[in-house]
Amino acid sequence: MSDLLSPSGQENPIASPFDRIRRFDPDGSEFWGSRDLAVALDYVDYRNFQLVIGKAKEACANAGQLVEDHFVDITEKVRIGSGALRESTTILMSRYGCYLTAQYAESTKESVALAKTYFAIQTRRQEIQDAGRNLENDRRLQLREEMKKHNYALAGAAKGAGVQEPKDYAIFQNSGYMGLYGGETMQTIHRRKGLKPSQQILDHMGSTELAANLFRATQTEEKIRREGISGKENANKAHMDVGKKVRQTMKDTGGTLPENLPTPKESINKLKSSKRKQLKNQKPT
């Protein structure tokens, strides 16, 4: 929430007043400015509203949440009555931060009652979205670990078929990707995803894309071993053929083809890091 952007779009006259003051950062995350929220909640004296936010921060910490995830102090330029700009401190607040703040605001105000309802509903919606996101992240982590294991087994099967040198194995791997991605090579996929040279494409796939690649790897390994395939060219052809069949299956079932699947914002390494932090925070002190 550190990069401040203005409220999105044009005002909708029938929208909630809390929708109208909502802002977004460059990543699309929503937040509210404390001064905007103070006005919406009919606080004339901002200093009184700061006391309310202080109580909300305490409640946030007591709930086991990181306060800095929901309340970020910044300095921004605001226009005063004369039209001049001056620097002013503001607190950028998440939806949850606003929800807690509304709980400690003056309950006699009609605007506060509206805020409690609005942020309670929106917070619940966010919880549902987060649950779905967490499920997707867990699937990605699990499938990525499966890919590591089966890529190792696939390499063993390819070596047994005569794919010995690193450059030969690179060609073998490329054959599978080209079959699955309609002719795209590993380099093309890497470039399309906008990755750095050190980043691996498998670490930047969603669960559906990872599952397709896992099926490609397991079925190719099984085919090479089952049919006793021998020779680099035959192994390459087998890998490409399996990739094509997986692609055709995705087409036949009406699924999105792998090259059209979205690239997740968070890499597998970042998910692992977040997971470790969560586990660390859950440990008793």
For the stretch 225-280, pLDDT in tens is 999 999 999 999 999 999 999 999 999 989 999 999 999 989 999 888 877 776 55
In one-letter notation, the amino acid at residue 277 is K
Domain regions of the chain by residue span: 17-106, 135-277
Q: Provide the pLDDT for residue 273.
A: 84
- CB-count exposure of residue 173 (10 Å: 0-12, 13-18, 19+): buried
For the stretch 39-64, pLDDT in tens is 999 999 999 999 999 999 999 999 88
Beta strands in 65-107 (DSSP E): 71-79, 85-93
Closest CA to 144 of 267, 26, 254: 267
pTM score over 0.85: no
DSSP characters over 224-240: HHHHT--SHHHHHHHHH
For the stretch 180-200, pLDDT in tens is 999 999 999 999 999 999 999
pLDDT at 37 > cutoff 50: yes
Rounded Cα–Cα distance for residues 118 and 53 (Å): 18
Please answer whether residues 225 and 271 qualify as being in contact, where contact means their C-beta atoms are separated by less than 8 angstroms.
no
